[in-house]
Structure 1
Amino acid sequence: MQTPPFVDELPSRNPDLLNQVREGMLLPLSDAFAAELDAAGAGLFQLADTAAPALQKEYLDAVQELKRDRESLVARFRAHLARAWQALEAGRPLSVERTLARGNDLTLVAEAELEVRLAVRNLAGAIQQAWRPELMRLDRYLGFIAGGMRLDSDSNPIGPEHLGVAFYAALSGTRLAPRAQLATVRVCEPGMVERVGRLYASLETQLLAIARASELPTGRARRRGIPGQARSARAEADWISRFFSHWQGGQRAPEAGHAIDVHARAGHELLPAELHRLLQGARAGGDPGAAGDGRRVLSPREMASALSLLQTTPHAGFEEIDRGGDLRAGLRGQLLAHGAMLGIDPASVRMDAADADTLDLVAMLFQAMLQESQVRADLRPVLGQLLVPVAKVALQDPRLFVRDSHPARRLLNLLADACDGNPGETAAELALLAQVQAVAGRVARDFDEHLGVFLQAESEFGAYFEQYRRRVEIAERRAAELQRAEERRVAARTLAAGALEARMQGQALPPVLEGFLRRPWVQHLERVALREGAADGPATTAALAAADGLLRACAEPAARDDAWLERQRPVLQRIYTEAGLAPDSADAATATLLDVLRGLRAADLPAPELPPTPPAPAPVDEAADSPLPDEPPEQVGFDMETAEYFQSLPLGTWLDFVDRFGQVQAGKLAWVSPISGRRMFVNRRGARFCVASPEQLATMVRLGRLRLHRDEDAFYSAMQSVVDSLGTPAAA
């Protein structure tokens, strides 16, 4: 037997929703069956009153049997429904026909049992007939959340057919006579039709509410702007909350992956009414959708045909659309020009106001997206060629603005992220840009009103881009580790230099002791401080205590502790050895130092000659490519509120850095130093780009050389910019 596909990989599978349906249906269906069993006694008594004596006894015995075996009957009913549901969750829906056949299709069935089977099938048919519309919709809903399966009356685990089989399984385990079983089914049929139907209607209402809720987007909190920068005085509600959170206009659009009907609007609105008003108020050059001028309105078929013809031109006509700098006017002009090639007189037609608003919104969306992303000039037409395909989608599928999971929207986000700040300087960046060009070109070439093109392109490019992002994340971690190591070296070097300066100040020391402190001891202290990473570590404290003891023995001969000096001999030998002396020379240098401190040798003995110090790792020159200003923050000045903003800036935030020549480069906050509190930013390839303190960043804001980068969701960010520009007096 062929192994079924792994259930978690089934498309559109929703385990949480499946669990909700199971908990909300299996037990209530069993309760409905139990309630009908309790009410069946009255019906059987009525049948017994008018039945022949032989049947009368069977009916009365059935009343007693149903009461005595009630729990077993309900358990067998529930067991079949549970088995059918488990088969659905496993990806292999249970067939009613095969269940009734029990694997023996050629076995003859007794006439009495056949009548019982026919009775339960009639029960299922009665439920199906009474609730057919609800069941048809439930088949589709349940099949979708179970993994895109095709369910019907034979395979729906909570459908009437399986309820009939569960009824048959419950009765077949009793000692009821066949005629009593047949009578029980007929007595329970009217009540089962009514009770089960109410459950179906309730389930359909719940699933429909969930489906509608999933179609409506949820507004987001507007990002907090950098303090000290000019901000818009508009309300903080984002574009989703303002226009789309409660908008129902796009509910009748086709499912993703299905063909879009380019010939009819199906009566649905493309955009909310308030957004239509803003777009019409901001339209330059008059309203192409104005009525009353005698021109006829372009039909959806003509609009789609003109856009399809424009899509066949190089880069989908983006160079011509972008020629004047205004994508709105360029898109409308090119649409009418290509409509003329199809025999449509531009002077005698006009666009419908709703269509013109949708085209304007898509054009403004692309214009904002290209402006907010740092895209090379040669990549602008590569991304811009998607303008016409996306416009065709927007004219027929309003879910483009409602659902962030729309395939066209996801693809736009991926391509914008891949091009944003990508200079194409490395082999990996060039390969990524080649993939962008191939994907965008294929969509512009192959899109034919079927969203499957976007779905396939998004799936393939998303997998490639995810691998690229993993390599960038590795580079980010490596940059953070290098910066952490550099700061620890600097901190250890600063600690050692400060400790030496504090102990040498104002003292005239013997050359042997001074030479020991200035080089072997300082190097040893720097090493242990770097290893421990703290100024109060045990090894660091011991090194400081050793130097203080030597200085005390030199300054106070009367309080000299010869036993303590002798205990320091192994420590001093190790320090001299670490400085580069051979073991014998280290022993001799240690003996000389101790003898001088005890007064056994002359104090003016020279320090031993040490090998040359190996060159320390050169610190990274952060000023070479850093966008930070040369002046210190105290000289330029900065706002404390702005500095506090950068102190609480979360990791992963992108900022736009503007250099002296006006060039913009995006940097991501990847690491915060626990030592100095400085923030490290990396570029798009994960390399260290800027290391600055909150005060330095606040200074850059004051100089106008730092600003927030666009939102991670390029589509969302561009839409927010468009809506904000529509609401300003200048745009109006």
Structure 2
Amino acid sequence: MSNHPLGAACATRTDPFRVLEEIKRLTLERLGGLPGTLYGPIEDALALSATHVDRDAFQYEDQAALWSLRHQQAAQVMRYRQQLARGFDEFRTLRAPGRNYLTMGLLDESQLDLHIAGERVGEALTQRYQKSLEMVEARLHTLAGTLGLQNMVNPVGPGRLATAFVEAFDGVRIPAQLRGHLFGFYESALARVLDDLYGQTSHLLAQAGYGIERESAERVSAASEAASGANAGASGLGAAPSVTLEELRGLLHAWREGAIRPELFSAPHAPQRTLQGRRDLRVEEVVSVASLLQSEPTDAFARALAGSGELRAAIRERLGEGARRLGLSPDHTTIGRDSEDAIDLVAMVFESLFASQELHERCRRLYARLVLPYVKVALGDRALFDQPEHPARKLLDAITEACAGNNAETQFERELFERAALVAQRVAIEYRENMAVFEQAFAELDALLLQQRQRVFLQEERAAQAVHGRERLQHAREHADAVVGRRLSAQPLCEATASFLGTSWRHHLLQVLLRDGVDSARFAEAVALGDALVEADGLAARAEGRALATRLVALERAIGDCLGSSGQDDTAAQHGLVALVRGLAWPDAARAVHPLPPRADAEDDGEDRKLWLAGGTDTLPPQDPAVVQSLRALTVGEWLHLTDAEGKTIKAKVGWISPLTSRRMLVNERGSRVLVASVDELAALVAQGRLAAAAAPRAFSEALAQVGERLRRATA
């Protein structure tokens, strides 16, 4: 750590290029060989899965691909090291790539899978090492300032490390299960070294005189507040309160010890009290009982998850039966406080999952199999409730991602559910206090989930393209209508001219706007045609026949093109031209100022109106400026809680921001559009309590937060 006070810079600093070279050397030393260390654990994981899955063809494909990758190991390590070094080159030269939005058609499906897997690894590690990254990046910002760089990309940030790994396998096709293992074990390997790497990097920067100056310190403080959700609460969006294990245990103890209103619970559901004359079972004894039972039928747990009873009571009853079988009579023993904590928290987490996630009835048996294994994990490892990246939490998150909203309507959805059921069964059979079972089960399921995430990504892209297309159409219609309306109201026109301008010319303007844009030469020519026809109508009204004939001859080709853009063939276009000429041939024809006629395609507006809240922003009252500002700052990928018209709360992500209207398109976890609205309209939802900030979907973390809220209400 730096010895310099906050806000003070070292009087003498080491040459920044030398410092960067030292960090680069350290990074290559600690990470440079990682790709070559992954194949042994992957081979073990494939061998384990082969004993449980009847998928010989796929297993052969995975083994063959692994054999090929092993033979290219040296080249992969070299490319990986080159990519790590490239990150430092980009830092020095400001060749920052920024966020890469994948463009449809530029990557084949295999490469898209790699990029999606890399993004997931980067996001997971960024969340895990957020505080360490804030310190490192603040010091790097100070160093960048001495080089005159205004922006920078952290060369040792998780996103850059994920990109380096993806690029190491550029052009390589990797089967889904093997790809899941590859990125899963890479993430685990990084997790074992990043704490030290970030600590040493921060120390090197501080020792070289690049401490955190005041501006950077404020940035770190602001980022920390954002991570905790404080900024969302201040802006009025709100956020789910974070909860610690100690807080949960305190609430549980208060609940059990009677610090609640008695009328909240009936006698059968009341918390267990201390029983006189009975010793507490040791944690090891409870684990032994759970191990005895975990592979047996779990109908009682499935019934409890269906709402026919409390899961915590069902677990206690089942453990009591198992204790008798092991000679631990309930007449002389009872479950101790620590074991009670584990049982209650696991039960409440599973109940919250079924209360908050869209889980179908067939999921009950799948989750019921997992109850006792998770009780065992909770009994022996408190990190289950403290660490979002705990292997058992990651697996439950993955299983919930596979099952939530899965109606098994397609072959892929059925396969995904069957794979989730298979890994749940494996955990129930194999878990013997070895977390590798959870890691391997997660890697296998995540390989298939990567395909689902790709489908969600493509669904979001299609939804954004559809909305963008309709907005472009609506924008072009409004612009064309404004141009036509001004010509129709500028001077009295005969019916033939007004009809042509309000139909054929109007459609022509729309087509040119959509194809070429408002600033194009073609649009200028299209507008000039309308102005020329208005002038020609004036010539006709003044009986200037020769000038009118000359003008119409000069416009003949442009008028033909205009009629042709409406899909008319040459014959129909000639008839249209004749009708226009015939109308202009009579100087004494009635002339009037004409209103803009209704569009023939007005029925299409019904779909447009569905894209945003009815009424538009002109009917909304003024909104809280702080809320509007916070909503305007939302970026693509940020999550919100949205309550729909039926009162159901769903998680929605900002999937796209319109470049035309700045409206935000919100999509659900399956990538389907749920709402398109302006910032002011979203602010109105916030004011109604229908929109609030949310964390990225983590089923276990959400359930744990709901457990905390449930206990807070009970002890209020």
Task: Report the CA distance shift for 1:690/1:577 in structure 2 as closer, same or farther (over 3 A).
Answer: same
2:701 aligned with 1:716? yes
What SS class does the counterpart of residue 221 from structure 1 fall into?
A: helix
What SS class does the counterpart of residue 421 from structure 1 fall into?
A: coil
1:358 Cα shift?
2.9
What SS class does the counterpart of residue 512 from structure 2 fall into?
A: helix
Cα pair 2:631 2:679 within 8 Å, conserved: yes
Counterpart for residue 228 of structure 2:
222
Code of the aligned partner of 1:479: A
Task: Report the CA distance shift for 1:19/1:681 in structure 2 as closer, same or farther (over 3 A).
Answer: same
2:559 aligned with 1:575? no
Normalised TM-score (structure 2): 0.58
Cα pair 2:257 2:273 within 8 Å, conserved: no
Counterpart for residue 297 of structure 2:
314
Task: Report the CA distance shift for 1:321/1:602 in structure 2 as closer, same or farther (over 3 A).
Answer: closer
What SS class does the counterpart of residue 532 from structure 2 fall into?
A: helix
1:540 Cα shift?
2.2
Code of the aligned partner of 2:555: Q
What whole-Å deviation, never above 9, does each CA across 1:138-175 have from its counterpart, x for those lacking one? xxxxxxxxxxxxxxxxxxxxxxxxxxxxxxxxxxxxxx
1:430 Cα shift?
3.4
What SS class does the counterpart of residue 385 from structure 1 fall into?
A: helix
Whole-Å Cα distance in 2 between the matches of residues 403 and 659 of structure 1? 32
2:512 aligned with 1:528? yes
What whole-Å deviation, never above 9, does each CA across 1:487-533 have from its counterpart, x for those lacking one? 1112222222222222112643233322321222111101011113x
Whole-Å Cα distance in 1 between the matches of residues 643 and 278 of structure 2? 50
Counterpart for residue 77 of structure 1:
none
Counterpart for residue 514 of structure 1:
498
Whole-Å Cα distance in 1 between the matches of residues 428 and 407 of structure 2? 24
What SS class does the counterpart of residue 675 from structure 2 fall into?
A: strand
Corresponding residue to 1:282 among 250, 255, 258: 255
Corresponding residue to 1:431 among 415, 418, 427: 415
Code of the aligned partner of 1:717: E
Counterpart for residue 455 of structure 1:
439
What SS class does the counterpart of residue 256 from structure 2 fall into?
A: coil
1:482 Cα shift?
1.5
The CA RMSD measured in Å over matched residues stands at 4.5
Whole-Å Cα distance in 2 between the matches of residues 517 and 605 of structure 1? 17
1:284 Cα shift?
6.2
1:395 Cα shift?
1.7
Code of the aligned partner of 2:378: A
Aligned counterparts, 1:629-644, within 5 A: 639-641=623-625, 642-644=627-629
Whole-Å Cα distance in 2 between the matches of residues 21 and 679 of structure 1? 40
| Number of residue equivalences | 491
Which entry has the higher C-alpha Rg, 1 or 2?
1
What whole-Å deviation, never above 9, does each CA across 1:242-282 have from its counterpart, x for those lacking one? x5xxxxxxxxxxxxxxxxxxxxxxxxxxx76x664444223
Counterpart for residue 417 of structure 1:
401
What SS class does the counterpart of residue 492 from structure 1 fall into?
A: helix
Counterpart for residue 500 of structure 1:
484
2:632 aligned with 1:647? yes
Cα pair 2:470 2:608 within 8 Å, conserved: no
Cα pair 2:613 2:677 within 8 Å, conserved: no
Whole-Å Cα distance in 2 between the matches of residues 615 and 21 of structure 1? 61
Normalised TM-score (structure 1): 0.57
What SS class does the counterpart of residue 666 from structure 2 fall into?
A: strand
Q: Which runs of 5+ in 2 are unaligned?
A: 1-23, 34-73, 79-191, 201-222, 259-269, 592-598
What whole-Å deviation, never above 9, does each CA across 1:541-589 have from its counterpart, x for those lacking one? 3322321232134336589698766543321221123334443664575
Structure with more contact order per residue of length (Cα contacts < 8 Å, sep ≥ 6): 2
Whole-Å Cα distance in 2 between the matches of residues 15 and 326 of structure 1? 57
Counterpart for residue 172 of structure 2:
none
Counterpart for residue 666 of structure 2:
681
Cα pair 1:310 1:316 within 8 Å, conserved: no
Whole-Å Cα distance in 1 between the matches of residues 690 and 652 of structure 2? 13
1:652 Cα shift?
2.2
Whole-Å Cα distance in 2 between the matches of residues 716 and 731 of structure 1? 21
Q: Percent identity of the aligned residues?
A: 30
Q: Which runs of 5+ in 1 are unaligned?
A: 1-13, 24-85, 91-205, 244-270, 607-612
Task: Report the CA distance shift for 1:357/1:585 in structure 2 as closer, same or farther (over 3 A).
Answer: closer
Counterpart for residue 552 of structure 1:
535
Counterpart for residue 681 of structure 2:
696
1:649 Cα shift?
2.6
1:633 Cα shift?
6.7
Counterpart for residue 127 of structure 1:
none
What SS class does the counterpart of residue 653 from structure 2 fall into?
A: strand
Whole-Å Cα distance in 2 between the matches of residues 20 and 312 of structure 1? 42
Whole-Å Cα distance in 2 between the matches of residues 667 and 716 of structure 1? 17
2:380 aligned with 1:396? yes
Counterpart for residue 257 of structure 1:
none
1:630 Cα shift?
6.0
Cα pair 2:685 2:691 within 8 Å, conserved: yes
Counterpart for residue 390 of structure 2:
406
1:435 Cα shift?
2.5
Whole-Å Cα distance in 2 between the matches of residues 313 and 601 of structure 1? 96
What whole-Å deviation, never above 9, does each CA across 1:165-189 have from its counterpart, x for those lacking one? xxxxxxxxxxxxxxxxxxxxxxxxx
Corresponding residue to 2:474 among 486, 490, 493: 490
What whole-Å deviation, never above 9, does each CA across 1:678-729 have from its counterpart, x for those lacking one? 2223334333332233333344444454455564222233334444555x37
Task: Report the CA distance shift for 1:420/1:330 in structure 2 as closer, same or farther (over 3 A).
Answer: same
Corresponding residue to 2:607 among 613, 618, 621: 621
1:233 Cα shift?
11
Counterpart for residue 426 of structure 2:
442
Counterpart for residue 471 of structure 1:
455
Counterpart for residue 368 of structure 1:
352
Whole-Å Cα distance in 2 between the matches of residues 553 and 623 of structure 1? 39
Task: Report the CA distance shift for 1:353/1:439 in structure 2 as closer, same or farther (over 3 A).
Answer: same
Code of the aligned partner of 1:514: A
2:287 aligned with 1:304? yes
1:411 Cα shift?
0.6
Task: Report the CA distance shift for 1:388/1:16 in structure 2 as closer, same or farther (over 3 A).
Answer: farther
Code of the aligned partner of 1:294: G
Code of the aligned partner of 1:529: L
Whole-Å Cα distance in 1 between the matches of residues 389 and 513 of structure 2? 52
1:466 Cα shift?
0.6
Cα pair 2:30 2:193 within 8 Å, conserved: no
Task: Report the CA distance shift for 1:518/1:233 in structure 2 as closer, same or farther (over 3 A).
Answer: closer
Whole-Å Cα distance in 2 between the matches of residues 489 and 208 of structure 1? 50
Task: Report the CA distance shift for 1:601/1:306 in structure 2 as closer, same or farther (over 3 A).
Answer: same
Counterpart for residue 345 of structure 1:
329
Cα pair 2:367 2:424 within 8 Å, conserved: yes
Code of the aligned partner of 1:281: A
Task: Report the CA distance shift for 1:351/1:669 in structure 2 as closer, same or farther (over 3 A).
Answer: same
Code of the aligned partner of 2:699: A
Code of the aligned partner of 1:430: R
Whole-Å Cα distance in 1 between the matches of residues 199 and 706 of structure 2? 26
Code of the aligned partner of 2:697: E
Counterpart for residue 19 of structure 1:
29
Cα pair 2:427 2:441 within 8 Å, conserved: yes
Counterpart for residue 539 of structure 1:
522
Aligned counterparts, 1:323-342, within 5 A: 326-342=310-326
1:635 Cα shift?
6.0
What SS class does the counterpart of residue 669 from structure 1 fall into?
A: strand
Cα pair 1:651 1:670 within 8 Å, conserved: yes
What SS class does the counterpart of residue 314 from structure 1 fall into?
A: coil
Aligned counterparts, 1:224-303, within 5 A: 225=232, 238-239=242-243, 276-283=249-256, 293-303=276-286
Task: Report the CA distance shift for 1:658/1:452 in structure 2 as closer, same or farther (over 3 A).
Answer: same
